[in-house]
Amino acid sequence: MSLLGTRAPVLPGAADPLAGPAGATATTPAGAPRRRTTRRHPLTRPGPLVALLALALVAAWALVPGAFTSHDPLTGVPADRLLPPGAAHWFGTDHLGRDLFSRTVHGTGLSLQAALVAIGIALVAGSLTGLVAGVAGGWVDDVLMRGADVLLAIPGLLLSLAVVTVLGFGTVKVAIAVGVASVATFARVMRAQVLRVRHATYVEAARLAGAGRVAVVLRHVVPNSAAPVLALATVELGAVVLAVSALSFLGFGATPPTPEWGSLVAEGRNYLAVAWWYSTLPGAVIAVVVLAAGRLGRAIEREGRTAR
């Protein structure tokens, strides 16, 4: 008998010389369950969780401002003008003695309303444009995408200024202007997703099974293309808030003395030398909302890529 075909017996408790390093297993026994690693959801990580809580707080300001401040945002006390932040006035007071924290909280409703209307316009119009371009193809795709290229070639704020100049002043008109300026971005993303999905195996199988074109689009193409577009909406929310505040800062928003984030920053620019808090603290709120929306949107987008 050849010695190469034999193997010395291994005593109980002794290490097997052919088994490799201690604690390592060469193969997994048949039927044995594999060890599963639990993946932490991105929204439960510290960064996205803090961003979500910040946005939830701002949303609560918009819904129930009276629960966070008892001061009147429109009426001030002349004797309290330009007071620094303190226990009585968390954000200080303005040049008319009005509580700045109260004006910031009560201005959240208009600012977020304009941002959500703008996002809604961009999401609906841009998604429909991208869907039609991706499904129809041909000259329809060329015409729609060349129009989107023209919009993308113009800086967003400049395009918003042009539109709001035509429409006139007011929070809703500012929202429409910002929404129109963001349509091309959503159209591009939606078209790319439709082109990816329309050639997938399950879409081809649905067509071979006799499903109509409209049924395939509604049942397969739209649901499987929507996730990246919705993630983009979350990311764009911060940019839209910034654009709405910029137009309000330039005087295109609500009529004074109605508080709005951008107008609060604009009111305080003439008092920066003596009252740094006047523009700084409302501006800090805008910055926190923009950063939180971007952080949350990136987490949702990353989760969508992982799920796919």
Coil vs helix vs strand at 258: coil
Cα 260 from Cα 35, distance rounded (Å): 54
**What mean pLDDT value characterizes the chain?**
83
Instruction: Determine contact, residues 124/190, Cβ cutoff 8 Å.
Output: no
CATH topology of domain 109-307: MetI-like fold (1.10.3720)
Number of other residues whose CB lies within 10 A of the CB of residue 200: 13
Q: How high is the pLDDT of residue 23?
A: 44
HSE (side-chain half, CA atoms, 13 Å) at 133? 23
Q: How far apart (Å, rounded) are the C-alpha atoms in residues 179 and 249?
A: 18
pLDDT of 4 over the 80 cut: no
Please answer whether residues 181 and 159 qualify as being in contact, where contact means their C-beta atoms are separated by less than 8 angstroms: yes
Q: What are the distances in angstroms from CA 44 to CA 41, 51, 85, 175, 307?
A: 6, 11, 34, 32, 16
Give pLDDT tens digits for 193-211: 888 887 777 777 777 777 7
**126 has a pLDDT exceeding 80:** yes
Alpha helical stretches, state H, 83-219: 100-136, 138-153, 156-167, 171-198, 201-208, 213-216
- CA Rg value for the chain: 29
Does pTM top 0.85 for this prediction? Answer: no
Instruction: Copy the structure tokens of residue 100.
Output: 């700045």
C-alpha angle 227-230-232 in degrees, rounded to nearest 5: 110
pLDDT in tens, 12-35: 444 454 444 444 444 445 555 555
Residue that wins the pLDDT comparison between 226 and 129: 129
Q: How far apart are CA 198 and CA 208, in angstroms?
A: 13
Separation in Å, CA 30 to CA 21, 25, 33, 243: 21, 13, 9, 60
d(CA 228, CA 224): 9
Tokens 């001030």 map to which residue? 76
Greater confidence (48 vs 123) lies with: 123
Amino acid residing at 56: A
